[in-house]
Chain A
Amino acid sequence: MWLMTFRIALRALARNKLRAFLTMLGIIIGVGAVIAMVAIGEGAKATIRAQIASLGTNVLIVLPGTASQGGVRTGSGGVNTLVDGDAKAITQEISAVAFASPALRRPEQVVAGNLNWSTLTQGVAPEFQQIREWQVAEGRFLHEGDMESAAKVAVVGQTVVDRLFGNDDPIDAVIRIRNIPFRIVGVLAPKGQTSQGTDQDDTILIPYTTMQKRLMRITWLQSILVSAVSAERVQEAQEQITALLRQRHRIGPDREDDFMIRNLSDIAEAASTSAGVMAVLLGSVASISLLVGGIGIMNIMLVSVTERTREIGIRMAVGARSRDIMLQFLVEAVVMAATGGGIGIMLGIGSSELLKFWAHWPTLVNPTIVAVAFLFSGAVGVFFGFYPAKKAAGLDPIEALRYE
């Protein structure tokens, strides 16, 4: 019965292909627009999020806490409670954390040949590159082997290269920090200044183990840089790190933390909310066109019912029940809407890919929206097909047979 109704509907549509297509066009454009618009919105959201992430808003900084003795409190970093094991535990045990890297920093005088330059020397782990999303322009970044052997290797920022090497190739050149020779293995891509005017490229990165053992002669860490898996999970990461470190540092329930965690997540939240609002706005404008498409279907179905009054009369005379007629027209409307929905999906995905390709817009097709748009177009068919189908089913067979 269903299969046959379906075939009858398909045949009725095939009889008037141009009209069926024009009717579907409303749904095609509607669904296509919803998918493309949401893709643009989501793409913008992802871009904004990525930009924020590169600023470091999904980055947390774990610092040693303050010590209090007889009411006198030191400043932050006054205690030496953070160790290498804490950094490793954070990476391994906390699901909301993507990367963690120890970070030690100190300004040092760097000598290369007959030139010297004072710059910020940072002791970091390989994960530092992912946390700060910092590309290497030339050579390589620090790797795990460098950490284990406390190798005397360095990756230098562009400003340092300019000051110490001019136009010469710095790779494999040797620089001296506190008279210790370091071989340059890589050059960082330029990052420019921070909003406070600090030149981020004026820096040298060396393994944190080397920094601890050879330059600073300490066993603890000045800080741990952590990146959460997403901006949304920064809060979660912060809570988990707090719990983990309290446990590792054996801090009783009524005692203060001996560490501090800082983050910049508020900015991230604001920006991603505004991008979200934009996605919803674009999506709802597009939904209106889907609604208009539905009204188009209803219009054509009403015309079709009138045109086929005689056919309806014949079917009723030979034994079609009201519900058979109803089903026939409803299926027709749904087939039109769903076919339009299918083509619309292809159009939507296609156009967002084209936008990505030609206009370099960072579109992002959301599979959930695709599924929802398709189901919604089917629902539009049922909703807007219902009234015409009901009208067809309610016809009086005598009148319908006499209809010219």
Chain B
Amino acid sequence: MSEVIRVQDLHKTYRMGDVEVPALRGINLSIDHGEFVAVMGSSGSGKSTFMNILGCLDRPTSGKYYLEGEEVGSLSRDEWAHIRNKRIGFVFQGFNLLSRTTALENVELPMMYNGFAGKQRHDRAAEVLSLVGLEQRFDHKPNQLSGGQQQRVAIARALVNQPSLLLADEPTGNLDSATSAEIMTLFQRLNAEQNITIVLVTHEPDIATFARRRIVFRDGVIVSDDKKV
């Protein structure tokens, strides 16, 4: 299977005044197309920093990051914006939807930045919203939707440009356990049916069991990496 992510000796050091704080200390990892990976670790383990680098939101201090074979860690801000738009979908803990904007328009948002025509945008957004089970809720605004529904909208938004990678940062952190299970089942379904590569950050072991591979971070290094057979 083809490789979606490969990182080599990735380091990230934050500077706080005169003190240098290492967040990542040499990560080597490869994730193939169609994998469903859970990244675990306590807070301060470096998993969020790692996700930011994978998401082309942050720059590694040293090391290489290849996305589908292309080195992207050192690209410009605008090139990153393009990659985030076309090739990476984000799902956040706090949903991060635009308030006072309908579900459909929220899903259309990524397409606004790559020149789709209005009709195309609308059709594609409707299609993806149906895929996540929200065909009845197009015109609802975030405050009219439950947490689980809001997260579905966010997932639809992440998928709308058919990215090669879906990054989810604690996607169930704000949800009750029943809804969390629904969302995780949705991720599983998308992974199985659409063959979407998913990397998910969580600190809850229950949530991690939905994934097929589990990577554990501690103090900026990977301490375990096991695949379900």
Contacts and interface: CB of A to CB of B under 8 A. Distances in A.
A binds B: yes
Interface in A1-15: 1, 4, 15
Nearest to B97: A314
Contacts of A314: 96-98, 109
A319 B115 contact: no
Given A317-B57, A319-B85, A324 B113 contact: yes
Nearest to A1: B115
B78 interface: yes
Interface in A69-94: none
A319 B96 contact: no
A318 B113 contact: yes
Interface in A284-334: 310-311, 313-324
Interface residues of A, number: 20
B113 A319 contact: yes
Contacts of B114: 319
Contacts, number: 54
A321 B96 contact: no
Interface size band for B: 20 to 34
B100 to A, nearest CB: 6
Interface in B71-89: 77-78, 81-82, 84-86
A15 B98 CA distance: 13
A321 B57 contact: no
Nearest to A317: B90
Nearest to A321: B81
B58 interface: yes
B87 to A, nearest CB: 10
Contacts of B84: 316-319
A398 interface: yes
A319 B58 contact: no
A322 B82 contact: no
Contacts of B55: 317
A318 B98 CA distance: 12
A322 B78 contact: yes
Contacts of B8: none
Given A4-B112, A15-B100, A318-B84, 14 more contacts: A1-B115, A311-B98, A314-B96, A318-B109, A319-B81, A319-B110, A319-B113, A319-B114, A320-B85, A322-B77, A322-B78, A322-B81, A397-B57, A401-B92
16 contacts: A314-B96, A314-B98, A315-B113, A317-B55, A317-B57, A318-B84, A318-B110, A319-B82, A319-B114, A319-B161, A320-B81, A320-B113, A321-B78, A323-B78, A398-B57, A401-B96
